[in-house]
Amino acid sequence: MPVGTQASVKALTPGELYTLGAEIILGNTYHLYLRPGHNLIRALGGLHRFMNWHLPILTDSGGFQVYSLSSFRKIEEEGAIFRSHIDGSLHHLSPELAIEIQEALGADIMMCLDTCIPYPAGLEQVRSATDLTTRWAQRCLMARTSDKSLLFAIVQGGMYRQVRQDHTYRLLELGFDGYALGGLSVGEPKEMLFEMIECSRPLIPDYFPVYVMGVGTPEDLVECVAMGVDMFDCVMPTRNARNGMLFTSFGHIVIKNARFADDEGPIDPECGCYTCRNYSRAYLRHLFMARELLSYRLNTIHNLYYYLGLMTEMRRAIEEDRFHRFRKDFYRKRIK
């Protein structure tokens, strides 16, 4: 899911996202609550109409953004108390308000408010925070006023296998429309990320969609799909595009490198995106070094085309029962 934090996937129009093959995008409860406000968006017809995107939207609950505020927030039983990163104003985000905001936005998939756990964290801290996430999930269920939107719960548990497994079972008992594996990509080693997915994903029946939040690199996506994950979001393809890192079938390149100064070739000879069909590495390097706005657009078009194409290829490989071969070919092409 391309990340449209503030009702915009940076540098692209909704029409361009559709052309690239995006079928769903992500919006952010925290940011849209603060600016321009969920009530304004509701009055203007909801988030789909507001941003002119007519396919599904998933809104994350804002829990991770509150977590990232660090010294500007406090977690209590009733919810998260935080100060706005925009103007310092004080706010209280409860599970009930998180659902109210997401229903006002008209999200197709809403996320329960959760407590994101830092890494590293002690066992008792993890248990306490995970129990709070369970209670908040129950309150989110009760706060829901219609079944027009799906509601996903978020599995927490830090980096403790047993806590994650226990939490998965508890959320399954409550009954949600889908399940996310949260609290990952917070600084833990890569092998630990995969271990936490491996210990909890098999517990979730296959008829539920499973979503790993905030992941990740192309390699992360391939490995997580191999473990049975269905959905992802990450700012990496768009943020890295603006920073000049471009993803390809053979790995990534950093377009500012001097070796591309006179390179007439496309970013990736195997890529069919608008950028690769029309522009050279030399031109893209020039734009990036000159800080031209077109650099952000062309790089973002390429990276999202690559990511969305990778997901399409994996879906096709699964449907044709050849995912194992796809995975081997994927790594064979990577430059060591």
Active site residues: 60, 233
Nearest to 305 by CA among 331, 280, 271, 281: 271
Distance of CA 258 to CAs 285, 288, 315, 336, Å?
8, 12, 37, 21
C-alpha to C-alpha distance for 336 and 333, rounded to whole angstroms:
9
Determine the Cα angle at 56 with ends 167 and 36, to 5°: 90
C-alpha to C-alpha distance for 274 and 80, rounded to whole angstroms:
43
C-alpha to C-alpha distance for 225 and 203, rounded to whole angstroms:
16
C-alpha to C-alpha distance for 60 and 91, rounded to whole angstroms:
18
C-alpha to C-alpha distance for 76 and 33, rounded to whole angstroms:
20
Q: What tokens appear for 28 in the block?
A: 């952010």
Residue with tokens 């833990």: 188
CB environment 268-300: b (16+ within 10 A), e (fewer): beebebbbbeebbbebbbbbbeeeeeebbbbbb
C-alpha to C-alpha distance for 317 and 326, rounded to whole angstroms:
7
